[in-house]
Amino acid sequence: MGSKNTVYLTQEGLDDLKKELDNLINVRRPENIQAIKEARSLGDLSENAEYDAARNEQAQIEGRIQQLEKMLENVSIITEVNTDKVGIGNTVSIKYVDDDEEDEYKIVGSQEADPFESKISNESPIAQALFDHKVGDIVTVESPNGNYQVEIIDIS
């Protein structure tokens, strides 16, 4: 599935990255340049905490801009979602074989992963175990805390 540099995103994830990049370039960068100018006008730069803070922020902003631009160059949009077997972009309902508890996860690219929204990275152990399996399959998930089994209940 693509090269190591490929960044898998849903359209929503791509839109979010573009918004963040736009905000960094058109809002944060100009604000930071102004903060540097103001700090510089205060005089002695060797003892100027405002100047140091503004320069550190500048480095963070520029680093994130470069990171986002590189990601956007290597983006692969998740469009067609096959519901026959698990893949990136699917929402998968699973049941833990040990305790009958159920969970639902959306499998997304690593940049969009958010456990609080039940969005898991395509690189996570559970997603890796689920890939290419069908409803009714029982798969073993290898985790640092030991292996466990889950049954795929639904793929959407």
Q: What integer pLDDT is reported at residue 104 of this predicted model?
A: 94
Instruction: Answer whether CATH 1.10.287.180 is correct for domain 7-77.
Output: yes
pLDDT at 107: 92
pLDDT value, residue 1:
45
Helix ranges, 90-132 (H): 125-130
Q: Which CATH class is domain 91-155?
A: alpha beta
Each of the 156 residues of the chain gets a pLDDT tens digit; together they read 445 678 888 888 899 999 999 999 999 999 999 999 998 888 777 778 889 999 999 999 999 999 999 989 988 888 777 788 898 889 999 999 989 899 999 999 888 888 899 999 998 999 999 999 999 999 999 988 889 999 999 999
pTM value?
0.67
Sheet holding 138-141, edge to edge: 119-121, 102-108, 91-96, 148-155, 138-141
Tell me which DSSP letter residue 142 carries. P
Q: Which pLDDT does position 2 carry in this prediction?
A: 47
- Give SS3 for 46: helix
Domain spans in the chain, listed from the N-terminal domain onward: 7-77, 91-155
Which pLDDT does position 3 carry in this prediction? Answer: 52
